[in-house]
Amino acid sequence: MSDFAGPNPDMKDRGEAKYFHGRTGILDSFQRRLKWAEKDPKEGTTFLIQAAPGAGKSALIHECTKLAENTGWEAVRVNTRALWDTDTMCQKLGDGWMPLLDEIAVNAGFNKWVQIEGAAKFRLPGHTPQSIIERGRAPLLLFLDEAQKLALAQSGHAETICDFLDAIHNGEMGRPVMLLTAGLSATKRAFKDLGVSRFKTNCYVELGPLKPEAERKVIDDWLKLEGRAKGDPTPWIDAIMQKTHGWPQHVAVYAQAAALQVRGDKRVMTPQGLQAVLEVGEIQRTKFYKSRAEGLDEDHRMAIAEAFASAREDQTQTRKAIMESLAKAVGKPEADTVFKRALNNGVLDHRDGRYVIPIPSMRRWFIDNYYTERDPFH
């Protein structure tokens, strides 16, 4: 085994992908919506990407924002607070919006800035995030990651958020404004609860694994462009693909490990080097699953494993079956809390009225580590 320690064990399942391939249909749909919004701002658009953790939501958002900026749109990253708090929205808009904010402040007869505990903050009384955005003229893309957190919006701000989302969705901002969002499987329900229940054609995406040809290109780029590998990388690519199943987070971890290993072996792809890569990838993949299972006690994990152990690897499960297994472990009152926690953590994913442990290897990890054929609760 190599002394190579592998990629950063804290590598997150979010952010720009160094080598991006695939998702062409989604990017084409998004680009068409940009052009459509420019022609008819009254159409409005909310573009939602929903997926399990590690599916590449954030990387896809990054590619979409590049498309927008390359065609003259301004792209601004926001958080859920910015949808109801004017100060936060102003700060997210950044220096480019200062002339407009100065104009609003002067016309209203008050100072835009105040000092609060040593920190400069915006104070624009009488304004909301929506009214600030409405004052602009250029096409604007707001992008929001981890959008499932909208479900946690405080009831005191729900009306403001609803009005803002509704205005964007229905093209009532007076100019081209799009909201690009990504989140876990509770996200679409959160939007529905906030008044956005119908998405335009191709503006709602359930993101799955990469197609094999895209996955192969990503690994190939890491080996050749990053690792400067000599020779035919096919055996390494095939071996890595057997472990990653097209899941972008896993692809990135294994491919990064492979590039570093090859560079350490003077660009030669050896059988020993490949074995070291597979071992490092397995360690990092397990750490990823453990991070997703945080907050779930062992009996919770055993109950979830039991619910899926008898199903085929690609088979979904009903909420009732999962709840029955959880109730047997922790009782009915706590079962609902645990179920929601598993859903919010990305351990469970909603699929057409049923539920699944979204990553095949994560499902296997749960069953291998927490399922036993005997009844573990009695």
Supply the DSSP string of 210-256, one letter for each residue.
Answer: PPHHHHHHHHHHIIIIIS---S--HHHHHHHHHHHTT-HHHHHHHHH
How far apart, in whole angstroms, are the C-alpha atoms of residue 366 and residue 304?
Answer: 8
Q: What is the CA radius of gyration of the chain?
A: 23
pLDDT for 6: 39
Res 1: pLDDT? 33
Asked if 55 and 62 count as a contact pair (C-beta separation under 8 A), the reply is no
Cross-strand pairs, 47: 180
Q: What is the pLDDT of residue 107?
A: 74
- pLDDT for res 12: 45
Asked if residue 138 lies in contact with residue 99, where contact means CB atoms within 8 angstroms, the answer is no
The per-residue DSSP string of 41-63 comes to: TTS-EEEEEE--TTSSHHHHHHH
Annotated domain spans of the chain? 24-206, 212-292, 298-370
288, containing H or E segment: helix 271-292
What is the reported pLDDT for 113? 61
Q: Are strands 349-351 and 45-50 parallel, antiparallel or unpaired?
A: unpaired
The closest alpha carbon to 367, from 300, 282, 305, 312, belongs to: 305
Comparing C-alpha atoms, which of 83, 77, 85, 40 is closest to residue 61?
Answer: 77
Q: Are strands 113-116 and 119-122 parallel, antiparallel or unpaired?
A: antiparallel
Q: Give the 3-state secondary structure of residue 359.
A: coil
DSSP calls for 159-199: HHHHHHHHHHHTT-SSS-EEEEEEE-TTHHHHHHHTT----
pLDDT tens for the chain, 378 residues long, are 333 333 443 344 456 889 999 999 999 999 999 999 999 888 888 999 998 888 999 999 999 999 999 999 999 999 999 999 888 898 899 878 888 888 877 776 666 666 555 555 666 777 889 998 998 889 999 999 988 888 776 567 888 899 999 999 989 998 999 999 999 887 888 888 888 878 888 899 999 999 999 999 999 999 999 999 999 999 999 999 999 999 999 999 999 999 999 999 999 999 999 999 999 999 999 999 999 999 999 999 999 999 999 777 667 899 999 999 999 999 998 999 999 899 888 899 888 889 999 888 899 999 999 998 645 444
Q: What is the dihedral sign for C-alpha 55, 204, 195, 142?
A: positive
Amino acid 373: pLDDT: 64
Tell me the CATH architecture of domain 298-370.
Orthogonal Bundle (1.10)
Question: Can you give the pLDDT at residue 315?
Answer: 77
CATH architecture of 24-206: 3-Layer(aba) Sandwich (3.40)
pTM, 2 dp: 0.85
Q: How far apart are CA 266 and CA 262, in angstroms?
A: 6
pLDDT at 121: 65
CA distance 336 to 323: 7
136: exposed, middle or buried (Cβ count in 10 Å: 0-12, 13-18, 19+): middle
Distance (Å, rounded) from C-alpha 239 to C-alpha 163?
A: 51
